[in-house]
A and B are shown apart, each in its own frame.
Chain A
Amino acid sequence: MKNKAAFIPLGFFVLLVVIVAIPLLKGTDPSVVPSALVGKPVPSFDLPPALAGVPGVSAKDVVKGPVLVNFFASWCLTCGAEHKLLDHIAKNEGVTIYGIDYKDKKPDIAAWIGKHGNPYKAVGFDADGRVGIDWGVYGVPETYIISPDGVIALRFVGPMTDDDYINTVKPRLEALRK
């Protein structure tokens, strides 16, 4: 009996190594965070506006896809990097983007949008990050493609670069438009 008990830590350790080894051996890139929500309908939410003069966002708005839903915040430095691209595709490629301002402060976000421009059709104010939790947001920025039937078609974690947009996001949007 005593002999067997001494093997318990080893057993746990082997289990741990196996579990940790799986993502490594699969070669999963940890920056690609898969979402449990891809292929599922948009979770219901209704957010007040973050900016004066720009409406808030609810699930009803975004289900009329294909649209992008972009989680961002004024305190997030990489969101600024992504912003130029968003601004460009909203103004020149006719992509509809809904913004969800994640864990932010209203004066901050007003100043930030004032500085960087507004690519968003509407911006919801997710002050405590509750809607972010429902969506499974890992960190901002995160961008979701919503299909015309209101299903999450793609999740993009982190700042989107021009290449990401051309190679990943744009083809999906175009496929959904057909």
Chain B
Amino acid sequence: MIIELGHFALILALVIAGVQSVVPMLGAARGNEAWMRLGRQSAVSMAGLISIAFFALIHAYALSDFSVLNVYQNSHTLKPAMYKIAGVWSNHEGSMLLWIWMLAFWGAAVARWRKNLPLAFQARVISVQGMIAFGFILFILLTSNPFLRIDPPAAEGLDMNPILQDPLLAIHPPFLYAGYVGFSVSFCFAIAALIEKKVDAEWAAYLRPWVLAAWVALTVGITLGASWAYYELGWGGFWFWDPVENASLMPWLAGTALLHSVSVLEKRATLKSWTIFLAIFAFSLSLLGTFLVRSGVLTSVHAFAVDPARGIFILVLLGGVTGGALLLYALRAPYITMGGSFKPVSRETALLLNNVFLFTFAATVFMGTLYPVFLSALDAGSVSVGAPYYSAALTPLLIPFALLMGVGPGLSWKEAQLMPALKKLAAPMAATLVLVCVISLLPLPGRPFTSVMFFIAGWVLFATVNEFLRKTGYLRSWRHLPRSFYGMTLAHTGFALLLIGAVTTTSWVTEKTLWMSPRDHVDIGGHQVMFLGTEPGIGDNYDYDRGNFSIPGASQLDDFIFLKPEKRWYPAPERMTSETALHLFGLDMLYIVLGDQDEKNPSRWVVRLYYHPFVGLLLVGAALIALGGLTAMSARRREEVAK
């Protein structure tokens, strides 16, 4: 019954989306206020209806109602409650419902956000949002309906992939989707601005918090996803350039570019049509990500079940949304007047270059991700594009990008003096060179790559800190600066730390694979790891062998640290998984995976150990980036009032 209620709510949401995509738009064109206001109400009620649909499905999962096809296919009574709920979005149908739920929430947020947003403009934004929602709700109802029943009901479900049974994996899709879908707001702002042929600083000021919000959510989502891959897949890596990972990175890069170009538009009323283009581009990449994952055009470890009808439907949606937007852009962009002029040495020029780089990064990832699709379309055989392509293509660009990142924030708007700007960078440059010398002289592996990477990361770090110290009068007066400046400082610092973490983790990693019997020990990363043996046991819905490793604490007085990697056997889908055991020593990570058991001598195991120096910096860096975004977001209103 509740499932039918959810189904009905979704159908009703489709009707409302239809109304929402037409009436407010017409109202805005005709100046009819009542019609424009209808958009606000419909956006909020759509969010309510889709919530009913979503919670109806969650309810069915929580109670293991196997008369629902989707629950039967993707759940199991033995699953722990948390993973039953997470099972809702670990399959295609449910994840599309999550997608549309997020979309409705962003729409409702825009509708509730009164902040002097002109009514006609808001009506147009909500209307475009309604069109997107209409397309996707229709997609769910026609090709991916999670509310279908089966008769007779099944007695037991078919479970989900056990490597997906993990807390981080359970929570990362909502963040990722919030980010993807969040860029729909920028997209709708861009379309509304094109319709009105009006793009100005005020528009950018309205848009900026929305870009930031989506970007922060996406940053968090990507970070959680990468952390999951790090410990769950058991290969000791955190980023695999897998198509599905790239699908989240591309909108992030485009969103980062958008974030910077919006600030130029806000301050200097220039880069107008470029900003509009980026807003369309960022959301289109989000849609493309959805398309790539859902259509099965690309094979991936994360890909869900494949159905060509779905792929074609999403491609039509993508064609309608992005194609329509780009057509409107082509027709209207020439009417958008240029703003202030560019001087070669100025903050805006630096930000324009930043955009060129970020756009190139996104395009590079895009090419790498779609190259196999291009080849197969041309029947030219199949290839997979991996890390060597990305590091060869991206690393050379990273160097000028990072150099610019150190210089840009120190330049003033309009016209800056080059020499004074360079002079104040002497100190961070000296600090960077010292760091590089130290790194290069120490007997560490991976040179000259590590030296180059430390140069650029150190440069970003020191230049950012230097600028912060100067602007705050060496911390004497640090309260008066705009919050966006603090946000930038945090995010750039985070980027530098992330870069250092990525380099140390990949270049200075120690990896050991060996047979171990109880009481054997091995030295890794300056720690003595002793294997104590394994014990079997039974978990929630799996059997396990749990290894036990002990490491002496830092001093004589400290207790031993125990690491317990597991090998799990899930009888429901008959699958074996490895649970890595991790321990942080400061920022360094010790990572132990239990391999295979010796048939003849069951107490003997293959053990794989990794020691990743400074891997913690990856997490600290990503957290600072997200925190920077939040800080810049919180700034918005107060500064607007001050202006």
Contact = CB atoms under 8 A, between A and B. Distances in A.
B376 A108 contact: no
Interface in B268-325: 273, 277, 280-281, 284, 291, 295-299, 306, 308, 311-312, 315, 318-319, 322-323
Interface string A1-30: 011001101100110110111111101111
Given A13-B323, A114-B600, A19 B382 contact: no
A105 B515 CA distance: 11
Contacts of B78: none
Nearest to B292: A20
B596 A108 contact: yes
B312 A17 contact: no
A136 interface: yes
Interface stretch (A33-41, A49-57, A167-175): A33-41
B575 to A, nearest CB: 7
Given A17-B315, A20-B297, A108-B513, A6 B606 contact: no
Interface residues of A, number: 41
A3 B211 CA distance: 28
B597 A19 contact: no
Contacts of A14: 323
Majority DSSP secondary structure for residues of A touching B: helix
A112 B596 contact: yes
A77 B163 CA distance: 12
Contacts of A28: 376
Contact of A17 (B235, B296, B323): B323
Contacts of A6: 273, 329-331, 333-334
A24 B308 contact: yes
A57 B112 CA distance: 68
A25 B311 CA distance: 9
A111 B602 CA distance: 11
Contacts of A108: 513, 595-596, 606
B12 to A, nearest CB: 31
B489 to A, nearest CB: 34
B330 A30 contact: no
B124 to A, nearest CB: 20
Contacts of A75: 235
A31 interface: yes
A114 B598 contact: yes
Contacts of A35: 381-382
Contacts of A138: 299, 382, 384
Interface string A131-160: 000001011000000000000000000000
Nearest to B595: A108
A89 B441 CA distance: 58
Contact of B596 (A2, A21, A33, A115): A115
Interface of B: 235, 273, 277, 280-281, 284, 291, 295-299, 306, 308, 311-312, 315, 318-319, 322-323, 326-327, 329-331, 333-334, 370, 373-374, 376-377, 379-384, 513-515, 575-576, 595-600, 606, 608
9 contacts: A6-B329, A9-B326, A9-B330, A13-B284, A16-B370, A23-B377, A34-B381, A112-B596, A114-B600
